[in-house]
């Protein structure tokens, strides 16, 4: 099968899936129930496993293991995004029925950005083999930094993306239906919904700088890296609505993710140094699964013994670019109550009848 057929066919399938999602399943803005979110998450997981089965069948066992390992790593790291989604949506008081639309366009943008990063990364590794040591060291250092900053909380008011957006774009006082931009008195204004989308896009770019090198540590095949990324991201919206209410129960998952990054970075350097698979893909898959599974079990047990710690999101500093740390108690209490820093208000969610709206 030619590369053109593989890449073209896969991207066409993704576009059709996205069109069906937004055009049929979620044509109207509405809140997604937990049951619906769980079913959609399961559907995307089944699609990924079926695709992985096809990789095993047509590209061989090694490629199949690379896809599964890359998918597991990316899926695990994508849970970090959910922590950020919860914080951002809470801080800016985004109505639940608008959150799915923001995530849809955010993830669509993420797919485009990641495709570009993957193509660039593959080309760089092909031309300069020594870059693999840079990638490995970057992953290990990032994992250590995440581990050390695990209990810090970001201050959304100090977010460099938020401050820059406010300086560059005139904004409305609050939300205006599902519009990202509106026209008033002949002038275009951004709504807080566009600022939220920008923050989510920029945050995913930062996550991608961690996750994509991690998958290159497993596979050097751009098609495997890209498809494992895409399948993990496609189910992220549904996973958010399924886990948003209980994400605080996975408080210790970020420690596990930090250790995974350190392990994958070390694997990348060791295998490159010895020019052999000292740590084979199936071992990497097993170790990753054990670390992630173990951190989730510890999280559930610890938070249950602590009474659940309702409402705490505990998002590490630095995972939202340019965001300084705050005291944990202040962040946990301030976001929910005074999080309307953008001037956005849930009371102003209807479309204005006097304004000429433009999306």
| CA atoms of 316 and 314, how far apart (whole Å) | 6
pLDDT at 167: 87
- Report how far apart, in Å, the C-alpha atoms of 214 and of each of 166, 185, 207, 229 are: 34, 49, 11, 11
Q: What does the pLDDT look like over 247-289, one tens digit per residue?
A: 777 778 888 888 888 998 898 899 888 877 788 888 888 898 8
Structure tokens at 6: 């593989």
pLDDT at 165: 87
Q: How many CA atoms lie within 13 A of 172 on its CB side?
A: 27
Max CA separation in the chain (angstroms): 69
The residues of the chain scoring below 50 in pLDDT are 308-359
Q: Which residues pair with 190 in a beta bridge?
A: 171, 181
- Report how far apart, in Å, the C-alpha atoms of 108 and of each of 20, 27, 65, 176 are: 14, 16, 27, 22
pLDDT at 156: 59
Order of strands across the sheet that contains 187-190: 187-190, 181-184, 356-357
What values do phi and psi take at 325, rounded to 5?
Answer: -80, 155
pLDDT at 218: 87
pLDDT at 296: 86
pLDDT at 103: 86
pLDDT at 224: 93
pTM: 0.74
pLDDT at 315: 41
pLDDT at 57: 92
Domain boundaries, the chain: 10-246
pLDDT at 50: 95
| CA atoms of 213 and 198, how far apart (whole Å) | 23
């Amino acid at each position: 099968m030619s590369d053109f057929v593989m890449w073209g066919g896969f991207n066409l399938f993704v576009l059709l899936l996205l069109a069906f999602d937004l055009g049929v399943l979620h044509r109207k803005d509405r809140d997604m129930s937990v049951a619906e979110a769980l079913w959609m998450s399961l559907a995307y997981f089944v699609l990924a496993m079926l695709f992985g089965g096809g990789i095993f069948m047509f590209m061989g066992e090694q490629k199949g293991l690379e896809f599964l390992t890359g998918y597991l790593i990316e899926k695990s790291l994508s849970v970090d995004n959910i922590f950020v989604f919860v914080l951002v949506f809470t801080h800016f008081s985004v109505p639940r029925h608008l959150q799915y639309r923001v995530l849809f366009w955010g993830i669509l943008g993420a797919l485009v950005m990641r495709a570009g990063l993957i193509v660039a990364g593959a080309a760089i590794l092909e031309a300069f083999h020594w870059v693999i040591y840079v990638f490995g060291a970057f992953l290990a250092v990032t994992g250590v930094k995440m581990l050390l900053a695990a209990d810090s909380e970001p201050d959304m008011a100090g977010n460099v993306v938020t401050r820059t957006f406010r300086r560059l774009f005139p904004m409305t006082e609050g939300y205006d239906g599902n519009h990202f931009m509106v026209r008033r008195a002949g002038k275009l204004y951004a709504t807080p919904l566009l600022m939220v989308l920008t923050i989510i896009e920029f945050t995913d770019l930062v996550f991608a700088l961690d996750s994509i090198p991690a998958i290159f540590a497993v596979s050097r095949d751009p098609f495997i890296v890209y498809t494992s990324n895409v399948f993990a991201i496609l189910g992220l919206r549904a996973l958010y609505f399924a886990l948003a209410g209980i994400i605080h129960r996975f408080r210790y998952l970020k420690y596990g993710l930090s250790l995974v990054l350190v392990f994958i970075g070390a694997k990348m350097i060791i295998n490159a140094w010895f020019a052999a698979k000292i740590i084979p893909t199936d071992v990497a898959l097993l170790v990753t699964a054990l670390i992630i599974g173990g951190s989730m079990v510890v999280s559930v047990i610890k938070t249950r013994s602590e009474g659940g710690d309702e409402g705490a999101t505990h998002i590490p500093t630095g995972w939202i670019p340019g965001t300084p740390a705050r005291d944990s108690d202040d962040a946990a209490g301030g976001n929910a109550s005074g999080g309307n820093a953008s001037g956005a208000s849930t009371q102003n969610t209807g479309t204005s009848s006097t304004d000429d709206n433009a999306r």
